[in-house]
Chain A
Amino acid sequence: GDSVTQTEGQVTVSESKSLIINCTYSATSIGYPNLFWYVRYPGEGLQLLLKVITAGQKGSSRGFEATYNKEATSFHLQKASVQESDSAVYYCALSESTNTGKLTFGDGTVLTVKP
């Protein structure tokens, strides 16, 4: 079946430093999956951060970027300069082109930004 791998369970970064959270995926369908980053801020529900549905394209939101790399089957999340308010849990996810809406999530990465 489909799978999403986030290698870092926890990441700690100092404020204003750069960030990268790694995500690789494996999809079973013939077509290319849709890729997502979701975020859960402390005390809040899970919300979509960004999505990319076309291989080779880049998505961006709130200063975060992720590029859909079909050759490397990766969708790493990056930010040039993090802020303390970015502290949250980040989830990489994919959905197949089948018409069920199923999202497959990675384990999540806890980001702590130190002031």
Chain B
Amino acid sequence: DPKIIQKPKYLVAVTGSEKILICEQYLGHNAMYWYRQSAKKPLEFMFSYSYQKLMDNQTASSRFQPQSSKKNHLDLQITALKPDDSATYFCASSQDWDREQYFGPGTRLTVL
């Protein structure tokens, strides 16, 4: 059974719209993360949360907002979508911030 669930697997959106990417982990971890990988670019850290509190935010834009309704959830809301937001978004989790990170399968977002 998958331990980190990301939904949806694929997502197509129009410019200017808003989408929420879902991430749930069933590993009992206390820390969760979002990363992004655009075409021909390395995986890029976006956010880290520990015990549902924001630890680090490396995104330059406030259009990206993580939402943690439960300890094992960390959704990513993206508003006013732009074509440059097209990427695969990966959720990850770890027991604590300094432990091994486990990655989800990713959500591939395409903004037209």
Contact = CB atoms under 8 A, between A and B. Distances in A.
Contacts, number: 57
A101 B101 contact: yes
Q: What is the interface residue range for chain B against chain A?
A: 20 to 34
Interface residues of A, number: 21
Interface of A: 4, 34, 38, 45-48, 51, 91, 93, 95, 99-108
Interface stretch (B67-75, B77-85, B90-98): B90-98
B45 A108 contact: no
A101 B31 contact: yes
A102 B56 contact: yes
B106 interface: yes
Secondary structure dominating the interface of B:
strand
A45 B56 contact: no
Contacts of A106: 42
B100 A104 contact: no
Interface string B1-27: 000100000000000000000000000
